[in-house]
Chain A
Amino acid sequence: MIDFIRMLGRWGLGTLERLGRATLLLVQIITGIPELMMRFSLVVQQLFYVGVLSVLIILVSGLFVGMVLGLQGYNTLVDFGAEESLGVLVSLSLVRELGPVVSALLFAGRAGSALTAEVGLMKSTEQLSGMEMMAVDPVRRIIAPRFLAGVISMPLLAAMFSAVGILGAFLVGHGLLGVDDGAFWSQMQAKTDWYEDILNGVIKSIVFGFVVTWIALFEGYDAVPTSEGVGRSTTRTVVHSAFAILGLDFVLTALMFGE
């Protein structure tokens, strides 16, 4: 029993300590951002690695999620003779929930894990120490541009996910199941609100981008500099990001739509 309490205490203290270190890193990153604006090319380069290279997986997944949503939605709606509302169902599900959440989960798996592994390996091969000794701050030179690129990429990727998803649902709904295309688009247009739905979705994806990139970079920067340590950190990035996304999604949804 005593051992259990001791273990719990150690775990709690360890977690708090890590949270503190993560916050310190975040503060360092944010104070480095104004300087980064002078050298925006560093961010552009990372936008390619973090954002552009994630586009394919986002588009393909978005298309399939949209197609499945179209099929499932039609089957339910047709019982009530409401199959023409398919457009609304699909657009609201995607823009409010699935777009930000699923694309953030994919982003954590594709870009987050890559960031952790890259930074962790840079640490274990002494590249970060080497930079420090060349009087180059690794947080400003390596971490901050990646952070900014992650925060910028995420809402754009989520938007692509939702757009392609709606297109997928349209292909299935109109092309395969014969839903009227006029009704599909006009109902969607009438019922999807710019602030209530789209803007809230964008806010969600910015928050997810912030948190996932922060977790990924902290895990890499804080990794135990061995191959096992980097492996563990990469796993933690994906697991913690998934928890953070789903937990925050609930909180944000409750705040935005809870009333």
Chain B
Amino acid sequence: MTPLIKIRDLHFYRGENVIFNGVDVDIYRGKVTAIMGPSGTGKTTLLKLIGGQLKPQRGSIVVDGEDVHKLSRKALYALRKRMGMLFQSGALLTDINVFENVAFPLYEHTDLPESMIRDLVLMKLQAVGLRNARNMMPAELSGGMARRVALARAMALDPMMIMYDEPFTGQDPISMGTLVNLIRRVNDAMGLTSIVVSHDVAETAQIADDIYLLSGGKVIDQGTPEQLQKSGSDWVEQFMQGLPDGPVPFHYPGTEFADDLLAGEEYR
């Protein structure tokens, strides 16, 4: 089986900062693949690279047979119509209501009659349980609701894949559970491929078929949630079980505490 997304030898720097230093990732059709890792490892950056919003210094990202960073602008936009992305904030347009937000990509990219757009939007909103919230403005929605509207909007053009950027961050247990369920259900019902970027281990492990663990610009480990739970690596164990100390130290690296105490007042 060929993967839908094939990332090879990806190098990406921001100034002096190395974000990715030779990353290889395969994302298979129909599966929910999780990209996990501590904050600041560039998980969101990876989604932006896949979506062609950023350009890597080296390496390639092939999505459905097309090298994202070698496409013309027109071809890239055509490819993006087949990609959905759910931003952490939802990124809803704040000056129009929920219905119009979901209808936005349909108005922009199709010539469908008004009545059909209405039916499509209601179907997508029904799928995320917010059909009756269609007249609300984005400012009136809770964080979880905004993400569900954004999910409905990402599904509007029936894409082949959806990328989720930290979908569980800052959610109460109920909306967390709703989102976890939705991601899996939508993936299976619509025959999508999903990429979930997250650092919420328990929730992500529930729905992911495959997990990639990133840290320090590299893939540390990869496998099904069960495989990773049993991984022999100390780092993986620390991350998956949320231990405060381990290969990732509790203390920010620097001088020893004792040296600092003895150094006297002149060194702050």
- A residues in contact (CB < 8 Å) with B: 122, 125-127, 129-130, 132-137, 141
Specify the chain B residue showing the minimal Cβ separation from A142.
Answer: B93
B69 to chain A, nearest CB (A): 15
Q: Which residue of B lies closest to A134 (CB)?
A: B105
A132–B80 alpha-carbon span in the complex (Å): 8
Q: Which of B53, B88, B104 contacts A134 (CB 8 A)?
A: B104
Given A125-B91, A126-B87, A126-B91, do A133 and B80 touch, yes or no (CB 8 Å)? yes
CB distance from B107 to the nearest CB of A (A): 10
Query: What CA separation (Å) do A125 and B92 show in the bound complex?
Result: 9
Contact check, B87 vs A135: say whether CB atoms are below 8 A apart.
no
**Cβ contact within 8 Å between B108 and A127:** no
Q: How far is the CA of A122 from the CA of B80 in the complex (A)?
A: 20
B2 at the interface (CB under 8 A from A): no
B83 CB-CB contact with A under 8 Å: yes
Cβ contacts B68-92/A at 8 Å (1 or 0 each): 0000000001101101110111011
The answer on a CB contact under 8 Å between A132 and B108 is no
Asked if B94 contacts A125 (CB within 8 A), the reply is yes
Cβ contacts under 8 Å, A132 to chain B: 51, 53, 80
Contact of A141 among B81, B84, B108, B157 (CB under 8 A): B108
CB closest chain-A residue, reference B78: A135
Give the residue name and chain of the A residue nearest to B156 (CB): A134
Which residues of A have CB within 8 Å of B78? 135
For residue B52, give the distance in angstroms from its CB to the closest CB of chain A.
Answer: 9
**Does the CB pair B80–A125 fall under 8 Å?**
no
Across chains A and B, which 10 residue pairs bring their CB atoms closest together, nearest first? A130-B91, A135-B80, A126-B91, A133-B85, A135-B77, A135-B81, A126-B87, A134-B105, A136-B108, A133-B51
A130 to B48, CA, bound (A): 11
Which chain B residues border A127 with CB–CB below 8 Å? 91-94
Within the complex, the shortest CB–CB distance from B135 to chain A, in Å, comes to 20
What does the 1/0 interface line of B33-63 toward A look like (CB < 8 Å)? 0000000000000001001010000000000
Q: In the complex, what distance in Å separates the CA atom of A137 from the CA atom of B104?
A: 13
Query: How far does the Cβ of B98 sit from chain A's closest Cβ, in whole Å?
Result: 15
**In the complex, A136 Cα to B106 Cα: how many Å?**
11
Shortest beta-carbon distance, B260 to chain A, in Å? 31
Interface residues of B in 95-112 (CB under 8 A from A): 104-105, 108-109
**21 pairs across A/B with beta carbons < 8 Å?**
A126-B88, A126-B91, A127-B91, A127-B92, A127-B93, A129-B91, A130-B85, A130-B87, A130-B91, A132-B80, A133-B53, A133-B83, A133-B84, A134-B105, A134-B108, A135-B78, A135-B80, A135-B81, A135-B105, A135-B109, A136-B104
Residues of A within 8 A of B150 (CB): 130
C-alpha gap A77/B153 in the complex (Å): 67
Taking CB as reference atom, which chain A residue is nearest B108? Answer: A136
